[in-house]
Amino acid sequence: MRTITGLWRWRRNPLHRRTDRVEAWFAVLCGVLLLAGGPWVALTAGSATERSLLATAAAERSQREQTVATVRRPLGQPAHDADPETAQAPHTRTRVLARWTAPDGTVRTGGIVAPPGSDAPGDRFRIWTDLRGAPAQPPMPPMMAQTHAWLAGIGAATAWGVLVEGVRRAVRWRIIRFRYACWDREWERVGPDWGRTGTGS
């Protein structure tokens, strides 16, 4: 409001230039775009990301099922744990040879990663499989989708702010260059006669 009030008073100042008005009004426009556009961009990007991730999570839940795996024997430490929740501590999980029942009722056997403390023969734990019975990662939880949506909204709002500020600086730089060019033309016109008494009379 102070900027708008000052701009309204400045317009009657006899020293103001057209470029001053353009620069001031463009700064006000950029401020409005930041204040009004930033939240809108964040909400739009966050909502779109959340809808997409929730749809992906729903599709994963429809294509995966939980079952119980029974350990037959340990196979040693896993070379790579693709589960993001346990990848930070891979040495606490052991790869085992286990048996489980696929969604179609057939019995499957294979090497999978067992949770900590469940690597002894006969231990049982729950795993996720796809519709063919192959081990699969758990579907994305809704909380993770919401977290990614928040991050996407914040990132989009930040990018919007950087874009608006970049455009404002570029326009201001062009205005300053235009002022310098006008000053050069004025100086070329009056410079040779500067300080001469009676010049132009």
For the full predicted model, state whether its pTM sits above 0.85: no
- Number of other CB atoms surrounding residue 34 within 10 Å: 16
Q: How do residues 137-146 score in pLDDT, each as one tens digit?
A: 888 888 888 8
Instruction: Give residues with Cβ within 8 angstroms of 164, minimum separation 6.
Output: 30, 33, 34, 37
Provide the 8-state DSSP code for 68: E
Instruction: Report the pLDDT value the prediction gives residue 201, as an integer from 0 to 100.
Output: 46
DSSP-H helix ranges across the chain: 2-10, 18-32, 38-63, 142-190
- What is the band of 28 on the pLDDT scale with cuts at 50, 70, 90? confident
Q: What percent of the chain has pLDDT over 70?
A: 78
Q: How do residues 80-135 score in pLDDT, each as one tens digit?
A: 555 555 544 545 678 888 999 988 888 998 888 888 888 788 889 999 998 888 89
Q: How far apart are CA 163 and CA 176, in angstroms?
A: 20
